[in-house]
Amino acid sequence: MRKEWRVLPLDQGRVEQLARLARIPDVVAQLLVSRGVYDLTAAKQFLDAKLSDLRDPLDLPGVPLAVEVIAKAIRSKAPIVIYGDYDADGMTSAAILFRGLKLMGSDVSYYVPNRLEEGYGLSSAALEKLAQRGKKLVISVDCGVGSVDEAKLCKTLGMQLVITDHHRIDGELPDAAAIVHPRLPGTSYPFGELCGAGVAFKLAWALCQEICESKRVTNQLRQYLLEALALAAIGTVADVVPLVDENRILVKHGLKSLRAHPGPGVAQLMRITKIDQRSDLQSEDIAFSIAPRLNAAGRLGQAQLGVELLTIQEETRAIQLAEYLDQLNANRVSLERSVYLAAQKQATDDYDPEADSALVLAGSGWHLGVIGVVAGRLAEKYGRPVLILSLDPVNGRPATGSGRAGGPHIDLHEALGECEHRLQKFGGHRAAAGLTLEDAQVDDFRSDFCEAVAKQVAESDHVAEVKIDAEAGIGQLSYQSVRQIEQLAPFGQGNPRPVLYARGVQLAEPSRRMGGGDRHLTLRVTQDGVSIRGVAFGQGDWCEELNAHEGPFDIAYRPVINEFRGQRNVEIQLVDWRPTHAAVVGS
């Protein structure tokens, strides 16, 4: 599917002024301006991202009351359980609070639901089991803000409930002892985009101060908070929240802490993925190496092992867990590839992915742990919402689905709300959602959902777009210039790695597929006598078309510094390509 290239406008006067005042290279100033950073103060705050710029943890809505409840339980030795979620954000959140409360002398354990059997959020059955085990305080992490009935059950069972969450709040709040949430109704916290691990870190920080009865904590708890910062960075990157404001600070300093204080389990994951050999860790190292292995454990029903890996202190067990999670990830990749190929075939054989407002694809036995990832890949490919439904007629279970919006113009949660009469249940937010429904309702639901999506957007909104920061020939990609661009790191959602474009390049040699299942592409392009290596992740299908193309073509790409065996070289990540002379739109 071809995408529209849109070059961001250049305000040369503003760029030159910022470069002069902040004493930074023009390319850095241009990229800052394109991100809405215009003045000296904002530029310094963005580039420095000081740890001291994090807001006081007691300012986070709900933290003071939560600290009061939890500290009382710690001091009275009341049995506490951390109730997590099965993704990387939930695992890191649980690990942060579990390790902290252990150090503070509490009687604490953790519980993580099985994704395949219990589903998301607080489970009534699980809460009853925890009550039978004598737990007196449940602290939810990365879930719970929608658990109204489960909160009532906790009271009936004689357990207190403290909720820490960051997900969308719909309707009634649970009746809990405390709720910690950056967008708690009736409050005005300046930054509402913290993930579950960011919320847990803020709460842990405040608890350390409470236990020490001082803003300055003991050396032991200070060391713990540095290690917790690394876990918060993993959760923040893995949950794809915007890397701006406090999230940017958490990740920038968390990456440093990840290098210096990884903990035994994470250290073994870094060894297996070889990122421990890098001189500088990037957010992409979390996104493509650490997070997938943690998420694989959750997707395949082994989330408890993910939390154990993040909290283990014994090296032999850490090695075993890291190797097991690495194997789980390999299994997840194979499952994902199988479901992707089947769903892709259904999309093209049975529907029209270029014309339909949305795709609702369903198959028997499609693994529940990977359907969300597959939905995301297809939504990105076609620039429209995709729902993937797993059918299980043999066991008589309802169809279970996961969806991704495929662009900023669709509110997936709203579209599903219009089809609520077809569904047993659904939940999520604008960009991602889950749902269940009877098999007999799938066809009618598909029609209703496509109609609901069509009402939200014009057809032009389905045109996928590549936002480009500037034109830059590959001859301009010196090591020094790319290092200057790296000043804007950490990159991720809300602060993407800059995209540049070059006109009239040619293949220096035929491109090749690479990676498991030939998913990725490697190539070398040349322009005006200069050549450079590039990769295109997830775009192995471009190989034959690129090799058959005659004549020059234009590329949209991200410049990167690749480190291999101690050598650091400039390379490119190919975002898109098109024949030379195709239109590029200014904005």
Give the model confidence (pLDDT) of 373-415 as tens digits.
999 999 988 889 999 999 998 888 899 999 998 877 889 999 9
pLDDT on residue 461: 59
Return the structure tokens found at 582.
């195709």
d(CA 553, CA 132): 66
Using pLDDT thresholds of 50, 70 and 90, give the confidence band for residue 462: low
Return the structure tokens found at 118.
């219990």
Using pLDDT thresholds of 50, 70 and 90, give the confidence band for residue 336: very high
d(CA 563, CA 571): 10
Same domain, 170 and 221: yes
Same domain, 197 and 311: yes
Same domain, 431 and 501: no
pLDDT on residue 584: 65
Average predicted confidence (pLDDT) for the chain: 92
d(CA 16, CA 19): 5
pLDDT on residue 564: 78
d(CA 55, CA 51): 9
When divided into structural domains, the chain yields a total of 3
CB atoms within 10 A of CB 529: 6
Same domain, 394 and 448: yes
Same domain, 431 and 401: yes
- Between 150 and 562, the more confident residue is 150
Q: Give one DSSP letter per residue of 489-519, joined into a string.
A: PSPBTTBPPP-EEEEEEEESS--EEESGGG-
pLDDT on residue 1: 56
pLDDT on residue 2: 66
Cβ proximity of 254 and 239 under 8 Å: no
E strand or H helix at 530, and its extent? strand 530-536
Residue-wise pLDDT tens digits, 471-494 = 889 998 999 989 989 989 999 988
> SS3 for 428?
strand
Residue 435 lies in a domain: yes
> What's the order of all strands across the beta sheet hosting 465-468?
465-468, 4-7, 585-586
Same domain, 397 and 489: no
> SS3 for 152?
helix
E strand or H helix at 531, and its extent? strand 530-536
Point out the domain boundary residue: 286, 311, 326: 326
Local structure of residue 300 (DSSP, 8 states): T
Point out the domain boundary residue: 437, 462, 487: 462
Residue 493 lies in a domain: yes
Q: Which domain holds residue 550?
A: 467-586
pLDDT on residue 585: 67
pLDDT on residue 463: 67
Residue 115 lies in a domain: yes
Backbone angles phi, psi at 541, to 5 degrees: -65, -15
Residue 448 lies in a domain: yes
d(CA 202, CA 58): 8
Dihedral in degrees, nearest 10, Cα atoms 301, 288, 497, 3? -70
Residue 12 lies in a domain: no
Beta bridge partners of 466: 5
What CATH number should be reported for the domain holding residue 93?
3.90.1640.30
Point out the domain boundary residue: 326, 360, 377: 326
Return the structure tokens found at 114.
């099985």
Measured in Å, how far apart are the chain's first and last C-alpha atoms? 21
pLDDT on residue 407: 77
d(CA 346, CA 109): 45
Tally DSSP H helices, then E strands, for the chain: 20, 20
Same domain, 397 and 516: no
The predicted model gives 435-455 an average pLDDT of 95
pLDDT on residue 493: 86
Cβ proximity of 67 and 49 under 8 Å: no
The predicted model gives 250-259 an average pLDDT of 96
pLDDT on residue 351: 94
Which residue from 230, 176, 186 is spatially nearest to 204, judged by alpha carbons?
A: 230
Per-residue pLDDT at 586 exceeds 70:
no
Residue 75 lies in a domain: yes
Return the structure tokens found at 342.
């089947």
What CATH number should be reported for the domain holding residue 437?
3.10.310.30
Same domain, 267 and 360: no
Cβ proximity of 86 and 117 under 8 Å: no
Cβ proximity of 165 and 180 under 8 Å: yes
Per-residue pLDDT at 587 exceeds 80:
no
The predicted model gives 265-294 an average pLDDT of 94
Same domain, 512 and 433: no
Which residue from 276, 261, 265 is spatially nearest to 309, judged by alpha carbons?
A: 265
Cβ proximity of 211 and 74 under 8 Å: yes
Same domain, 440 and 578: no
What CATH number should be reported for the domain holding residue 549?
2.40.50.460
For 83, half-sphere exposure in the C-beta direction (CA atoms, 13 angstrom radius) is 35
Using pLDDT thresholds of 50, 70 and 90, give the confidence band for residue 285: very high
Same domain, 308 and 179: yes
Residue 336 lies in a domain: no
Residue 4 lies in a domain: no
Same domain, 478 and 450: no
Per-residue pLDDT at 514 exceeds 70:
yes
